[in-house]
Amino acid sequence: MAKTGLESPIGSRVARSTFTMLVIEDNATDAELMLRAIEQADLKAIEGDLRLEVRSTAEGGLQFLKEHPVDLVLTDMVLPEMSGLDVVSQIQEIDRNLPVLVVTRMGAVGTAVDAMRRGAYDYVLKPVNPDDLGMRLHRAIRLSEIIRRTTAFERTIRQDVSSGGTLVGASDGFEAVMRSVREAAQGRATVLITGETGTGKGLIARAIHEQSRERDKPYQVIDCTTVPEGMVESELFGHVRGAFTGAVADKPGLIELANGGTAFLDEIGELPLPLQAKLLRVLEENEVRPVGGTRVKRVQMRFIAATNQDLEEKVRDGSFRKDLYYRLAALTIRVSPLRERPEDVAVIARHLVSRFGREMGKPRCVLEASAVTALTGYRWPGNVRELRNVIERVVMLVSGDVVTGADITALLPSRRGGTESGSVYATEPYMEAKRKAVADFTAAYLRAKLAMHDGHITKAAEESGIPRQHFSLLMKRFLDHDGKS
């Protein structure tokens, strides 16, 4: 294997581009051993051909970085004209998102840790072991691929919707969802959106409406979990004067108010069985009968429904009508949880950092590579909703323009500390400290319960001993500042 300008195809997948790895090593023997270890390592994470560039000096490596795109750097910590720490610092100045692995001997692990504090992603011990190197390179290559796909996506595709939210992503799953959105927007077929809480089902529904011919017509959101149980029928279908105590005037329902546009039925699985029959009639006959009324009103609109429940299971246990389910599921869009699409975590996080940075007067705020690693390594039981809240808080709290991995992990549930003793709240007045402690506990409890049940609200609520509707309200209050899906 040559030491300079080497190109070596690794892996059998069709290459979409070249993955360039820069090796900075002044010792020819060590460089040869490192290249051989790279060749022996199992680098299946690379999406394309591997190109190795070797430079024997820090100056040569940094110059190559300035002139060529590089996806990953492997650098020795002992170089003749510059320390490895300074090399890492200068690489960070050239490209803060570039993953860097430092190579050091056993006795200098402390220096490698210092390099990681300066922005290096990981370290490798000499003599280089192919298995260990392969494992560490695999993680770094995965991070590099996520960053590269994120950057390319942000340059080419961004779907903003008028609700103030944004649909962004780079994964195959996200692209499939967006194709379904475009397909749904072309017609007026009923759409069923399924996915865990916080995956953005409401944004997808809004995107369908915004891309349709009816984008200028009404868009009504009907949240089946928040309407008081005794008022659901009236809220959906309206009522006439005198229909019940307090009905002092005729009132149109939300479905009628959406006439000509789109009615979005959020958490349709919570709709009581008697009302499912009335909704089915609306879908089939295009007419609404208000509570207490004798005359029907003609309506024409698109219906979009969303649920985080398994409606097929509810059909089997008799809690959801089979005919309504099949009527709603004319086109089904399944939204995968974030833990199944780490590429989207990086894309969404970068977009949100940019968005919140502008809103908070920090327009140059960015995520460094270690922050992306921390974000993609977390399971996100609250999905996009939880990610948005973490990013909003970290942008608000960070003192400079760079969000580090430490900044992120400090806000994740597993890394929070100090709440047991109350010291973290000691600077606050008692009532304010108590309010914050209760809010932090509630948020952490909800996240933990959701994580235990893979985001399934009904199961989490049952185990918690909290009514599902109240559990949902707690989620909206403590896990979502603006209450959007």
Q: Which two tokens stand for residue 451?
A: 């994580």
With contact defined as beta carbons under 8 Å apart, do 191 and 218 qualify? no
pLDDT at 481: 38
Question: Cα–Cα distances in Å, from 194 out to 20, 103, 113?
Answer: 39, 46, 44
Residues 345 and 328 in one domain: no
With contact defined as beta carbons under 8 Å apart, do 407 and 395 qualify? no
pLDDT at 30: 87
pLDDT at 92: 84
Q: What is the DSSP track for 252-271?
A: --HHHHTTTSEEEEETGGGS
The tens digit of pLDDT for each residue in 238-275 reads 888 877 777 778 888 888 899 999 999 999 998 888 88
pLDDT at 480: 57
- Tracing tokens 């928040």 back to the chain, one arrives at 226
pTM of the model: 0.63
Measure CA 330 to chain center: 27
Question: Cα–Cα distances in Å, from 93 out to 102, 149, 288?
Answer: 17, 21, 63
Strand, helix or coil for residue 415: helix
Residues 354 and 414 in one domain: yes
Listed residue (233, 429, 223, 423) closest to 308, CA to CA: 223
Environment class of residue 249 by beta-carbon count within 10 Å: exposed (0-12), middle (13-18) or buried (19+)?
exposed
Q: 30-52 in b/e burial notation, b at 16+ Cβ within 10 A?
A: bbebbbebbeebebebbbbbbbb
For CA atoms 479, 481, 483, 484, give the dihedral sign.
negative
207 vs 52: CA distance, rounded Å? 43
pLDDT at 129: 83
Residues 346 and 288 in one domain: no
300 vs 263: CA distance, rounded Å? 10
Is residue 483 assigned to a domain? no
For residue 426, the enclosing domain spans: 339-478
Residues 6+ apart with CB under 8 A from 463: 449, 452, 453
Q: Which two tokens stand for residue 440?
A: 């932090």
448 vs 60: CA distance, rounded Å? 49
Residues 171 and 302 in one domain: yes
Question: Cα–Cα distances in Å, from 287 out to 192, 220, 340?
Answer: 21, 17, 41
Residues 135 and 63 in one domain: yes
Residues 79 and 13 in one domain: yes
150 vs 473: CA distance, rounded Å? 33
How do strand 262-266 and strand 49-55 relate by DSSP bridges?
unpaired
Neighbour count for residue 189 (Cβ, 10 Å)? 12
Environment class of residue 395 by beta-carbon count within 10 Å: exposed (0-12), middle (13-18) or buried (19+)?
buried
Residues 233 and 364 in one domain: no
Of the chain, the end-to-end C-alpha distance in Å amounts to 53
Measure CA 465 to chain center: 29
Q: Beta partners for 303? A: 263
Residues 66 and 168 in one domain: no
Residues 170 and 86 in one domain: no
Is residue 485 assigned to a domain? no
How do strand 49-55 and strand 6-8 relate by DSSP bridges?
antiparallel
Residues 181 and 271 in one domain: yes
pLDDT at 479: 74
Query: Which of residues 129, 154, 179 is at a domain's end?
Result: 154
Residues 382 and 437 in one domain: yes
pLDDT at 272: 87
Residues 6+ apart with CB under 8 A from 438: none
In eight-state DSSP terms, residue 331 is E
Residues 176 and 294 in one domain: yes
With contact defined as beta carbons under 8 Å apart, do 103 and 74 qualify? yes
| Cα radius of gyration (the chain) | 27
pLDDT at 426: 55
244 vs 242: CA distance, rounded Å? 5
Strand, helix or coil for residue 194: strand
CATH number at residue 285: 3.40.50.300
Listed residue (218, 405, 189, 385) closest to 305, CA to CA: 189
pLDDT at 208: 94
Is residue 484 assigned to a domain? no
- Structurally, how many domains does the chain consist of? 3
Query: Which of residues 282, 316, 334 is at a domain's end?
Result: 334
Residue ranges in the chain whose pLDDT is less than 70? 1-17, 42, 44-48, 148-166, 227-230, 414-428, 430, 454, 480-485
Measure CA 2 to chain center: 42
pLDDT at 485: 33
In eight-state DSSP terms, residue 361 is T
With contact defined as beta carbons under 8 Å apart, do 209 and 159 qualify? no
Q: Which two tokens stand for residue 55?
A: 């430079």
Is residue 67 assigned to a domain? yes
Is residue 345 assigned to a domain? yes
With contact defined as beta carbons under 8 Å apart, do 75 and 118 qualify? no
